[in-house]
Amino acid sequence: MRTYNLYPMNEMYQPEKNDKFTFGLWTVGNPGGDPFGLPTREKINPVQIVHGLAECGAYGVNLHDNDLIPFGCSQKEKQAVVGKFKEALKETGLKVPMATTNLFHHPVFKDGAFTSSNPEIRAFALQKSMQSISMGVELGAETIVFWGGREGAETDSGKDPRDAIGWYRDAINFLSHWVNDQGWNLKFALEAKPNEPRGDIYYPTTGSMLHFISTLDKPEMCGVNPEVAHENMTGLSMVFAVAQAMEASKLFHIDLNAQKIGRYDQDLRFGSEDIKGAFFLVRLLEGCGGYPKYDGPKHFDAHAYRTESQEGVWDFAKGCMRTYKMLAEKANSFNNDPEVKEILLKNHSDSNNLSGILSYSKENAEAIRSMNANPEKLSKAGLQYEKLDQIAVEHIMGTR
Ligand code: GCO
Ligand code: MN
Ligand code: MN
């Protein structure tokens, strides 16, 4: 494989193991098919993917059960495939931090897996998840992602959404108790998406998943796996979604990619759209404002343009990691920019020492009630956000 040659002299953005950059077998293995056209490149096998990712400098590889073993394959076939995969992991040192279950591809899941109206299908979805989680554990996974791609509807005539919502809860509760009984120390990361492939999907946003978690039997086991594209498809802010998850200590995993607002699910290379959104996201993940850095795996859930050959797929993978590292550097220089610090300090200053009375007590309520507020004066100062934002742009563009 050739080396990344866009900036051959610049070594500082090379991925390192402690960046914890991961890709899915289904991401770099995507052969470029779409609903309107055939694949445009050869499918490469999981062992080739592991070696390719290791050469790119990735930390790990994630998988759905059926990215590795075909649906319904025999035990013998499974052992052989898993054995070869494990060998490749050993040779390269690549980890499998996350495993997930394909509950969307087979026609049996056409009207949902955990939310199918048919209890027999719901039971099968549990059985398939249990097998997939076992394989994940065998491969060393610490996080299990649940993405309910088929858990939705085109028409609400078919079932009561309150039933579907409850069945989804039953499934996650079932699997968390089962994992606990196996003595495994796993985390579940729930991934929301508003639509596609279903017309509408239950639990459509990270915010709605966060509330759902608070209704579970084992909420401590469950967090979220927000995805840039999924929040952006409906025009929501990925930064706000991730911030809410981080503030609640529920960011268990993250799917990084890029997306134009309002389009179909594009799964573009990280940072290739909305570079400023990506910048503020990376800034959040790298730690800022006195909050710690996100330390979990950073998964690129995206794929190369359909125009690419296999060589372009590796360009895509290296581009995702490189852009992340460049943005991390820019975020750091923005945070340490004296002018940025000065403006933020000024806008956050507490010259009348009021922050102490903002949490409730009877005395504080009395202090607030009798306070001499001066909204006219308070509305006078300009906040210099134009300047701040332009400084961010200057850092991103490398002119500062
Ligand atoms: C999508 C999703 C998936 C999931 C994956 C892991 O839009 O197709 O993002 O890629 O992340 O199935 O559960
Ligand atoms: Mn997605
Ligand atoms: Mn995803």
Statement: residue 249 has pLDDT above 70: yes
115 in Cβ contact with 148 (< 8 Å): yes
**Which residue owns the Cα nearest ligand 1 atom 8?**
149
pLDDT of 3 strictly over 90: no
- Ligand 1 atom having least distance to the Cα of 146: 13
Per-residue pLDDT averaged across 91-107, rounded? 98
Atom of ligand 1 nearest to the CA of 27: 10
User: What's the gap in Å between 51 CA and the centre of ligand 3?
Assistant: 23
Q: Using 50, 70 and 90 to split pLDDT, how confident is the model at 5?
A: low
Can you name the residues that pair with 268 across neighbouring β-strands?
258
Q: Is the CB of 231 under 6 A from ligand 1?
A: no
Is the CB of residue 339 less than 8 Å from the CB of residue 391? yes
> For residue 197, which of 329, 261, 102, 121 has the smallest C-alpha distance?
102
CATH number for the segment(s) 11-335: 3.20.20.150
Atom of ligand 1 nearest to the CA of 265: 7
Atom 9 (ligand 1) nearest CA: 301
Token output for 280: 């503020």
Instruction: Specify the range with the lowest mean pLDDT, choosing from 109-113, 221-225, 304-308, 347-351.
Output: 347-351
Of 64, 83, 82, 71, nearest in space to 26 by CA: 64
Q: Of all residues in the chain, what percent carry a pLDDT higher than 90?
A: 96
* Domain range list for the chain: 11-335, 338-397
The pTM assigned to this predicted structure is 0.96
| pLDDT beyond 80 at 90 | yes
Q: What is the pLDDT of residue 10?
A: 62
What pLDDT digit, counting tens, does each position of 356-368 carry? 999 999 999 999 9
| pLDDT classification of 4: cutoffs 50, 70, 90 | low
pLDDT in tens, 150-205: 999 999 999 999 999 999 999 999 999 999 999 999 999 999 999 999 999 999 99
Provide the CA 36 distance to its chain's centre, in angstroms: 27
Mean pLDDT value of segment 347-352:
92
- With a 6 Å cutoff on the Cβ, whether 193 touches ligand 1 is yes
pLDDT digits (tens, 9 = 90+) for 132-147: 999 999 999 999 999 9
